[in-house]
A and B are shown apart, each in its own frame.
Chain A
Amino acid sequence: MDWILGHLDDIGGYTVQHAWLAGLPLLLGLAVAVPLGWLARRRSWLYTPIVAGTGLLYTIPSLALFILMPLVLGTRILDEENVIAAMTIYTVALLTRTVADALGAVPDDVVAAATAMGLGPVRRLLTVELPMAVPVIAAGLRVAAVSNVSIVSVAALIGVPQLGVLFTDGFYRDFLDPIVAGLVASALLALLFDLAIVALARVLTPWHRTPAAARSGSEAPS
């Protein structure tokens, strides 16, 4: 306990770094997953290759991916870009299917009405389909956020500082305090991400917060 109180600055710094390495890839991954998911929906023959292909990326062991990144990107092994890129790949793996299925769940009559009113494909995506897909995409993002917070700690093994460093430190020194501190900080960070996504989704979906019509309700006077 004394150790934790004495190292609050370090723990705080690692937490901020951890949030950055887990959080930025969420945004980048979403930015990649949306066009991919959209493409999978627009061209039905692309659905299986895109969704299955991106899904497979999640099976790559994280340590291997962190080590492979410098070879692919031409970065140095200690650069945080490696971690950001790798985490973005995992986010894309988790989100592409979610985005494709969320877009697919937009009712046909709504899509038909939008098309018939003269909305082009891109405008329809941005102003009708994506807004309606927010609740489902947000659910996928929550999974990806927790997954990212958890996986990022592995990057301690290639020397990129974040909360994972506390685990390796505790392990090498056979000392429990840093490990406990890392676990608690990770859990709190995951919770924070989760709450932020839920709050954002709520703000973006005002129509979900209004009570439905009484089914027995009478018709408007004519």
Chain B
Amino acid sequence: MIRFEGVTKEYADGTTAVGGLSLNAPTGAITVLVGPSGCGKTTSLRMVNRMIEPTAGRITIDGEDTATMDPARLRRGIGYVIQHAGLFPHRTVVDNVATVPRLLGWDRRKARDRSMELLERVGLPAELARRYPHQLSGGQQQRVGVARALAADPPVMLMDEPFSAVDPVVREQLQDEFLRLQAELGKTILFVTHDIDEAVKLGDQVAVLRVGGRLAQLDAPGRLLADPADDFVAEFVGRDRGYRGLAFRPAPPLEPREEPTVPLGAAPEEVRRVTADWVLVVDAGRPVGWVEPRAIDAPVTTDRLHRGGTVARLDGSLRAILDAALSSPSGRGVLVDDDGLLLGTVTASAVVAALDGVPRTDPVEPPEPVER
């Protein structure tokens, strides 16, 4: 566990970057520090590995005061990932990843083997190992940055906006892989971002900081959206928080309705036999899209499909299920099981009706009864 106890950073000119910050980042969990620029989130992060020294308070890692530790030794035990990856341009990918193991005195071969293993783990093909960083795309560089931070298997990781310099599609991909990796590795992670959506997506708990480095709220993401502590947090969390909060609400007990389907390649007559305005097309049990019977004049091919509808898992979040219903051209949201096989459909009104019966999340509940 990383523990901040009244940590303050004041500069000589009198500005306070971080003001009396106290919080715990529990072992094996992702704690996100989020806030507008100037809220001291990066400063807070850099005080953990003593790249910046606090002016008051203390930071402990698993009970040990970092101020008493040798900075170089402390840092070798903490993985660090930054925005533009900060790879060494003059070293190959494999040597970049091997940096900390080599510093720790591993022999060349062992460090190399470990690097190759990690490159595979972060989804990079082995043939990239001999390349130099500038020969990689931004997303690939960021993966190398993560691999490099993981190289010596540090229990603690500090991540400073690691995904904000890549395009949105790649960012989402990196975030998903990061969560998958964390599920396997269970590191104690302190993660800094200015993006509240990233914060609620990745954080087990989210600390919202206001300018001057003061903690505005520390909560699980679902609670942050459902119950902002004050106006600042409410505004920072942003609009649509009711809808976004659905992502953290447990799936209600929904009965998927049976949906008539036609297989891919079905003839127009077969499609028209189904008496509905939109007909769901399946391929080997998996939903692939909708077709409009009166617009079909040839066997159904994939390029005739309406692809607007999203697909949700029955045990997925309320947000995903409601979105499936709202995005479907037929108004019926497609539900699948864990293997992606069709279970049935559900309408938005059924989801909302079920929603009314679900308690508003969270183990720790606000005292008032839910307003009706």
Residues of A that sit less than 8 Å from B by CB = 107, 109-110, 112-120, 128, 131-132, 205-207, 210-213, 215, 217-222
Given contacts A210-B132, A220-B128, contact A109 B86 (CB under 8 A): yes
Bound Cα distance A183, B80 (Å): 57
Q: When the two chains form the complex, which single residue of A118, A207, A213 contacts B89, counting CB atoms closer than 8 Å?
A: A207
Q: When the two chains form the complex, which single residue of A109, A115, A117, A131 contacts B83, counting CB atoms closer than 8 Å?
A: A109
User: In whole Å, how far is A63's beta carbon from the nearest beta carbon of chain B?
Assistant: 42
Q: Which residues of B contact A120 (CB under 8 A)?
A: 72
Q: List 12 A-B contacts (CB under 8 A).
A: A109-B83, A112-B82, A116-B51, A206-B132, A207-B91, A210-B132, A215-B137, A219-B137, A219-B139, A219-B173, A220-B128, A221-B125
Q: Which residues of A contact B170 (CB under 8 A)?
A: 219
A222-B90 in contact (CB<8A): no
B131-A132 in contact (CB<8A): no
B86-A113 in contact (CB<8A): yes
Q: When the two chains form the complex, which single residue of B72, B148, B177 contacts A119, counting CB atoms closer than 8 Å?
A: B72
Given contacts A210-B132, A212-B134, A221-B125, contact A110 B140 (CB under 8 A): no
Bound Cα distance A206, B131 (Å): 11
Q: Is B186 an interface residue (CB 8 A)?
A: no
Bound Cα distance A205, B90 (Å): 7
Q: Which residues of A contact B177 (CB under 8 A)?
A: 222
Bound Cα distance A180, B306 (Å): 85
Q: Which residue of A lies closest to B103 (CB)?
A: A118
User: In whole Å, how far is A60's beta carbon from the nearest beta carbon of chain B?
Assistant: 36
Q: Is B201 an interface residue (CB 8 A)?
A: no
Q: Which residues of B contact A210 (CB under 8 A)?
A: 131-132, 134-135
7 A-B pairs besides A205-B90, A221-B123 with CB distance below 8 A are A107-B84, A113-B85, A118-B75, A207-B134, A212-B134, A220-B140, A220-B143
Bound Cα distance A212, B138 (Å): 12
Q: Which residues of A contact B131 (CB under 8 A)?
A: 210
B84-A109 in contact (CB<8A): yes
Q: Which residue of A lies closest to B141 (CB)?
A: A213
User: In whole Å, how far is A44's beta carbon from the nearest beta carbon of chain B?
Assistant: 14
Q: Is B76 an interface residue (CB 8 A)?
A: yes
Q: Which residues of A contact B51 (CB under 8 A)?
A: 112, 115-116
Bound Cα distance A115, B87 (Å): 12
Name B138-180 residues within 8 Å CB distance of A: 139-140, 143, 145, 148, 158, 170, 173, 177
Q: Which residues of B contact A115 (CB under 8 A)?
A: 51, 75
Q: Which residue of B lies closest to A106 (CB)?
A: B89
Q: Is B99 an interface residue (CB 8 A)?
A: yes
Bound Cα distance A216, B80 (Å): 28
Q: Which residues of A contact B76 (CB under 8 A)?
A: 117-118
Among B78, B83, B86, B131, which residue has the most Cβ atoms of chain A within 10 A? B86
Q: Is B236 an interface residue (CB 8 A)?
A: no
Q: Which residues of A contact B143 (CB under 8 A)?
A: 220
Q: Which residues of B contact A222 (CB under 8 A)?
A: 123, 173, 177
B80-A212 in contact (CB<8A): no
Q: Which residues of A contact B139 (CB under 8 A)?
A: 219-220
Q: Which residues of B contact A213 (CB under 8 A)?
A: 134-137, 140
User: In whole Å, how far is B320's beta carbon from the nearest beta carbon of chain A?
Assistant: 21
Bound Cα distance A222, B175 (Å): 12
Q: Which residue of B lies closest to A222 (CB)?
A: B123
Bound Cα distance A190, B128 (Å): 41
Q: Is B73 an interface residue (CB 8 A)?
A: yes
B103-A220 in contact (CB<8A): no
Q: Which residue of A lies closest to B131 (CB)?
A: A210
Among B71, B72, B170, B173, which residue has the most Cβ atoms of chain A within 10 A? B72
A110-B86 in contact (CB<8A): yes
Q: Which residue of A lies closest to B75 (CB)?
A: A118
Among A116, A206, A212, which residue has the most Cβ atoms of chain B within 10 A? A116
